[in-house]
Structure 1
Amino acid sequence: MNKSIVFKSLNKIGIALTALTAIGFATTNSASAATVTTLLQDDFNSENNGVGTLNYYDFSYWKVASGSVDLIGNGFFDFLPGNGLYVDMDGTTDKAGTLQSKTPFNFQAGDTVNLSFQLAGNQRYDTSDSVTVSLGDLFSETFLLPGSQGFTNFTRSFTVANATNATLDFKGIGGDDVGLLLDNVTLTKSVPEPGLIMGLLAFGATSLRKRKQQQSAINA
């Protein structure tokens, strides 16, 4: 085979590989090239100087938007020892409470939201209780747990379609002074960084242009 033809064929293969490499880098890095921001993280252990109390309202990151909740644990009505302080979502006023984040969070289209928390049954009666967890219009789900269920991890992830502001709410349902127990809440968002991806694509385009220039010089 003519050497010139072989060289041209290899050069075309090189151009294709360069393009695929650039695209591959961009695809691989699209997930990792993101800024992860922790919007809220709370295990309740620092509340009230680490001491439980009934009908607690002075949370660092939350307001009790309705009803009441109890701050328990650390030896005070400690139904699940070893978990520090946690929240009984049905306080001691015959009306379940709603915890609402004091800060509304800003989300942009394309943000990936990750929400995790722990819920447990009331640990006192053989009855089920429920809590509705919501993040504005972005997310809402009701969780129903039997009284004997220990702390269970729940994780939800979703992508924001339209820019919005939203508070995180945990709404206890009931009114018998016995509710689900809440602990270890974490809310984060991941914002894509298009700069790195565009840089990789630009690198690939530059490499392609150089190879085409080399090919043109050979064909001349």
Structure 2
Amino acid sequence: MTENASNVIARGAEAPPLGDRLRQRRKALKMTLQEVADEAGFSVGFISQIERGITVPSLTSLIAVCRTLKVEAGSFLNPPKVATPFTRREHRPIYGLGQQGGNAVSYERLSASFPGNVLRSTIIHEPPGHRSEPMSHEGEEIFFILKGALTLEVDGEPMVLEAGDSAHFPSLRVHTMWNHTGEPTTILHTCTMDVFGDGEPSGSPTDSLAVTRAENRLDATDNGMSNKDMGNRR
């Protein structure tokens, strides 16, 4: 990767902060913080922190809020479109939702967009101490830990995932994750929720292909993962 994680994209430097724009939209709809929180499935405190710029939401959290505010999530971020089926590692940009340097979650887009496409895949760079808000939504998702460790909680049951571990579950189950360590965690995340706001896909489902080159692919056996029972890490 040639870009620093601090160079995330948020619709350009001239755009108003994410929280201000969400607050303006909420007031335009004459909705209270409580109404937005109830409909989106979050706490009032979480919505308030987003509006005040204290918290930067994850992509999935932003989408839930935007649905409540009846606005496209794509208008609040500028994730890179995959115009060609091949993505070279050195050309894959890092993007996110805020300019918070090392404290910001950043993303690398892996999946392409084409008619019939249902999978959205990203590499997530989770900073130390970051915690997502509990949420549920349609579809399903898979987490695969490339580097570091992560606590994933599903329906109130926490489980520590380490490099080489994975989790696959229906997204309707209430889930949250946090980096409980003092080091960044890198996650391969695939889901069926439209986290990119692509709109109507273009291209042909018969000739679409996305390939990503990587020089340092993680080998789980190098970390002594073998067939370790995940339940032992709870």
Give the TM-score normalised by the residue count of structure 2.
Answer: 0.28
Give the TM-score normalised by the residue count of structure 1.
Answer: 0.29
Higher-Rg structure is 1
Larger strand proportion of the pair: 1
Considering Cα pairs closer than 8 Å and 6+ residues apart, tell me whether 1 or 2 has the greater RCO.
1
